[in-house]
């Protein structure tokens, strides 16, 4: 994390703690089911890396609510980015794992933070190379504003207005050892 | 760790982490070739020039397919039909290609060090697709990738390389790569085809094929490059097959699931029998498939590193 060494970050506020993260995910699961009237043709697709864990958790919630399994796929959008040379740390290319045919399906894309919208733009490009879904919806844990593209989320965990010099960090048990969402500020 | 080299010239200069980064990246790229639309936009707008001074079909086609699956534009220059015939030097050719605003040159040349010389003289990326008897890094990388895919690891493996070691850039790159990742390499060939000093690269030497196969987890069988025989140094073909050819009988004395590799093209009945080439232990065609993923990874990494260097030098 050399980036953090050269740009010291200060934690400003905790927005969601463990329990609120969990309740928020349950609510999103209910909203996804409500909007789609159940699980028929429904597939979840998590965007690497934290979107994947969110997708898996939403799938677990859906199983509890409806007693139905929904397929979960993993999307790596590195190869579709438009800013590969702009980012400080070289992203490592990971695998995309979609073990089901997406054609005709209702796909819910899942990511942790919605910001400029460019990740979602890349994800849409990637997704369409795999087939022709009936529709694509977007679920995010946090919408922090500052969109640069005409993209919006269908399901939002929490809207958090931020300044440009702030960053939202979503931490999840599976990768970070704990569940929380914090605002950090660059000095 | 990030990849910072604008060129890939050989495996000798790479460290273990860099080799592993290429292999890991290649693993991710392998999935692209299984899609219905076998293409990602990672190198869209980039131009890759294949500059081949030696005949090659599989390496050139593999690089071409790799570049196209990354959405790059590809130009193939075969020297038989180019101005090199009119006396242009390699570095002049390189500078002309750079002036065309190409981004990556993939070069194969019969002189050792040709790729390194081009890389020094150009700001665009250079990928070595084989230089003389020196190195053929992407072939070794795809061999290692295939081994790792089959056996789950490289560290601790015993790998035997059989054939014309002396004239083989494939052998040299494999020895560098495999030993850096912790494998034990044995080379096996008639004494005259074993170069002096090969032990210093970390390889053991034997002239006894059965001895070389006995403990091996994998055997990489090199093509006998009879076209390089200028002074009668090569054994007669049938004699070679009798002494060093990989046959079913010989494999029966080796580990049951020994992996048989060959960089191609195969001379059936000289390096190995048809039975072995098409048999259950052979991964020769998987090597070809994996070659695309490995070359995609290499093209992607050098292009990305070069872009980053350019940005760091001219921040806007």
> Cβ contacts (< 8 Å) between A80 and chain B: which residues?
40-42
Q: How many Å lie between the alpha carbon of B45 and the closest alpha carbon of chain A? A: 12
Whether A105 contacts A42, CB under 8 Å: yes
Mutate to test the interface with B, among A1, A90, A99 (most CBs of B within 10 A): A90
pLDDT in tens, A147-184: 999 999 999 999 999 998 999 999 999 999 999 999 99
Q: Determine the pLDDT at residue A117.
A: 95
Nearest chain B residue (CA) to A84: B304
Q: Please judge whether A90 and B42 are an interchain contact, meaning their C-beta atoms are less than 8 angstroms apart.
A: no
Domain ranges in chain A? 7-186
- Alpha carbon distances (Å) from A101 to A49, A91, A106, A173: 22, 27, 11, 30
Q: Determine the pLDDT at residue B87.
A: 77
Average pLDDT over residues B138-152: 98
Q: Determine the pLDDT at residue B78.
A: 85
Q: Is the dihedral of CA B191, B194, B198, B203 positive or negative?
A: negative
Of B27, B39, B305, the CB nearest to A95: B27
Which residue is associated with the tokens 């690269």?
B201
Q: Determine the pLDDT at residue A7.
A: 55
Whether A118 contacts A82, CB under 8 Å: yes
Whether B9 contacts B116, CB under 8 Å: yes
Average pLDDT over residues B30-48: 92
Contact map slice: B 57-76 vs A, CB within 8 A: 70
> Cβ contacts (< 8 Å) between A129 and chain B: which residues?
35, 37, 39-40
Q: Determine the pLDDT at residue A92.
A: 80
Q: Determine the pLDDT at residue A1.
A: 42
Q: Is B311 on the interface with A (CB under 8 A)?
A: yes
Q: Determine the pLDDT at residue A2.
A: 44
Task: Please say if the pLDDT value at position B316 is more than 60.
Answer: no
pLDDT in tens, A58-72: 999 999 999 999 999
Q: Please judge whether A90 and B25 are an interchain contact, meaning their C-beta atoms are less than 8 angstroms apart.
A: no
Average pLDDT over residues B217-225: 93
> Cβ contacts (< 8 Å) between A73 and chain B: which residues?
none
The predicted model scores a pTM of 0.88
Taken in order of first residue, the domains within chain B and their CATH numbers are: 16-136+291-307 (3.40.50.1370), 137-287 (3.40.50.1370)
Q: Determine the pLDDT at residue B226.
A: 73
Task: Please say if the pLDDT value at position B189 is more than 80.
Answer: yes
Phi/psi at B40 (5° precision): -125, 155
Q: Is B38 on the interface with A (CB under 8 A)?
A: no
For the structural domain made of A7-186, what CATH number should be given? 3.40.50.2020
Q: Is A6 on the interface with B (CB under 8 A)?
A: no
Q: How many Å lie between the alpha carbon of B95 and the closest alpha carbon of chain A? A: 25
Q: Please judge whether B28 and A76 are an interchain contact, meaning their C-beta atoms are less than 8 angstroms apart.
A: yes
Q: Determine the pLDDT at residue A8.
A: 65
Whether B305 contacts B3, CB under 8 Å: yes
Higher pLDDT, B214 or A8: B214
pLDDT in tens, B48-80: 999 999 988 899 999 999 999 999 999 999 887
């Amino acid at each position: 994390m050399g980036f953090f060494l050269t740009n010291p970050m200060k934690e400003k506020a905790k927005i969601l703690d463990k329990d609120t993260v969990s309740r928020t995910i349950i609510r999103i699961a209910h909203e996804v089911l409500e909007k789609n009237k159940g699980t028929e043709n429904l597939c979840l697709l998590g965007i690497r890396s934290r979107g994947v864990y969110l997708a898996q958790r939403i799938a677990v919630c859906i199983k509890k609510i409806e007693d139905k399994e929904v397929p979960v796929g993993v999307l790596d959008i590195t190869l579709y980015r438009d800013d590969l040379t702009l980012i400080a740390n070289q992203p490592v290319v990971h695998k995309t794992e979609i073990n089901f045919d997406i054609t005709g399906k209702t796909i819910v894309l899942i990511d942790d933070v919605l910001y400029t919208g460019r990740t979602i733009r890349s994800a849409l490009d990637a997704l369409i190379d795999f087939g022709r879904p009936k529709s694509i919806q977007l679920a995010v844990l946090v919408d922090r504003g500052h969109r640069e593209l005409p993209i919006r989320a269908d399901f939002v965990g929490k809207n958090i207005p931020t300044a440009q010099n702030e960053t939202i960090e979503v931490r999840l048990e599976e990768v970070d050892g704990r569940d929380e969402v914090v605002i950090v500020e660059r000095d | 760790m990030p990849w910072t080299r604008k060129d890939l010239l050989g495996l000798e200069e790479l460290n273990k982490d860099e080799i592993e980064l290429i292999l890991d990246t290649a693993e991710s790229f392998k999935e692209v070739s299984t899609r219905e639309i076998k293409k990602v936009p990672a190198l869209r707008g980039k131009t890759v020039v294949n500059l081949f001074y030696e005949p090659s079909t599989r390496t050139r086609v593999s690089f071409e397919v790799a570049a196209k699956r990354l959405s790059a534009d590809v130009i193939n220059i075969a020297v038989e039909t180019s101005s090199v015939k009119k006396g242009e030097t390699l570095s002049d050719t390189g500078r002309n290609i750079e002036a065309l605003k190409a981004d990556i040159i993939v070069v194969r040349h019969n002189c050792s060090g040709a790729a390194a010389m081009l890389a020094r003289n150009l700001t665009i990326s250079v990928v070595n697709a084989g230089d003389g008897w020196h190195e053929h890094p992407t072939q070794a990388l795809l061999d290692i990738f295939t081994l790792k895919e089959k056996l789950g690891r490289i560290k601790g493996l015993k790998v035997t390389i059989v054939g014309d070691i002396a004239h083989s850039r494939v052998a040299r790159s494999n020895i560098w790569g495999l030993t850096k990742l912790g494998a034990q390499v044995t080379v096996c060939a008639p004494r005259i085809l074993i170069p002096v000093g090969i032990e210093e690269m970390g390889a053991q030497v034997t002239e006894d094929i059965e001895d070389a196969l006995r403990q091996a987890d994998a055997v990489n069988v090199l093509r006998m490059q009879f076209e390089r025989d200028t002074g009668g140094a090569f054994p007669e073909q049938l004699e070679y097959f009798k002494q060093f050819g990989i046959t079913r009988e010989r494999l029966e004395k080796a580990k049951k699931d020994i992996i048989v590799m060959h960089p191609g093209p195969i001379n059936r009945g000289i390096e190995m029998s048809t039975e072995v080439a098409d048999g259950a232990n052979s991964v020769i065609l998987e090597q070809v498939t994996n070659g695309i993923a490995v070359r995609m990874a290499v093209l992607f990494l050098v292009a990305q590193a070069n872009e980053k260097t350019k940005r760091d030098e001219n921040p806007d």
